[in-house]
Structure 1
């Protein structure tokens, strides 16, 4: 059984989802892949401890603090490759960013492969079911493109600005499949 609640944030309404013990989802309103791997109906539950803890974490984040990801019991549902990518996302420091290609090199190194596809990494990043907390907004294209945020590029920009990232190095793509 899955439970959900809503959280009002500076980037819009957020749906939080839990299996009762762990956080399994955090989706922005209108996010691509909303609900992700949670295929069962979610029951609204506003007083679940893990969801209250997550709201507190988000309150700290949105007031400019840098709460630790490890403070939350996360249980994103996905295959080994996606989980490996999501683990790397959790290592990106607050206010910093990384490219899809850099993540591909890290995954290749950790899995003893000669190389890894940046596009495959992009797919895993895009299917991250716990946005913001698993900070997929901190991933950019090698050329400075702000492509590929399932929650919307406008929200990616707001999150990066909120964290104090120098946005002068980046641009919003005008065409492509990852808008």
Structure 2
């Protein structure tokens, strides 16, 4: 099941299956990518709660999400996404740092970047907080402008 909400970074499609969030998608939405979404269900309790938490996040009233998550991916992707959850509000980490946290060298930074880019639940699994080693913004599935806006939202809240 899925629903769509408005946000400061454009419409977001929230998807749930089996009682867990499986995707948050940026507009424009791609319906022919093979992902199972089911029917639209704006009144689904989990989707209503996910929408509430996302709105609170964008209003700077929520720093940690509390939602059941079920991202689909390889074992390595799952391990990367688990590490992303440890990068807190207003913090950033480099791809190399994530590789090291996984017990790899900087040589794994590219693989971490690829896994980061395939994160199906952005914002909640905060892939936007991962930046280049020199502090630059590098790729983001939702576009660098969205990544910048998300980072600014969190940074502004610190002052």
TM > 0.5 fold call: yes
State the alpha-carbon separation in 2 of the partners of residues 140 and 114 from structure 1: 17
**Per-residue deviation at 1:114?**
6.1
Unpaired segments ≥5 residues, structure 1: 166-179
1:148–1:24 Cα change, 3 Å: same
User: Pairwise mapping of residues 118-129 of structure 1 onto structure 2 (< 5 A)?
Assistant: 118-129=109-120
Q: Give per-residue Cα distances to partners, 1:81-110, cap 9 Å, x unaligned.
A: 1010001111111011000000011112xx
Residue deviations 1:116-159 (CA, integer Å, cap 9, x gap): 51000000000000010100000000012211110000000000
Give the SS at the match of 1:149: coil
The size of the alignment, in residue pairs, is 157
Query: Equivalent residue for 1:169?
Result: none
Any conservation in 2 of the 1:66–1:94 contact (CA below 8 Å)?
A: no
Alpha-carbon offset, residue 49 of structure 1: 1.0
State the TM-score, normalized to the length of structure 1: 0.81
Distance 2:38 2:13 in 1: 11
Cα contact 2:2–2:37 (8 A) shared by 1: no
In structure 1, C-alpha distance between the alignment counterparts of 2:32 and 2:118, rounded to whole Å: 7
Query: For the structure 1 residues 114 and 134, does the alpha-carbon distance in structure 2 shift closer, same or farther, using more than 3 Å as the test?
Result: closer
Is 1:79 the counterpart of 2:77 in the alignment?
no
What is the root-mean-square deviation of aligned Cα atoms in Å? 2.2
Contact 1:27–1:35, Cα closer than 8 Å, also in 2: no
Per-residue CA deviations over 1:45-66 (Å, capped at 9, x if unaligned) read 1111110110111011011123
Unmatched segments (≥5 aa) in structure 2: none
TM-score (norm 2): 0.90
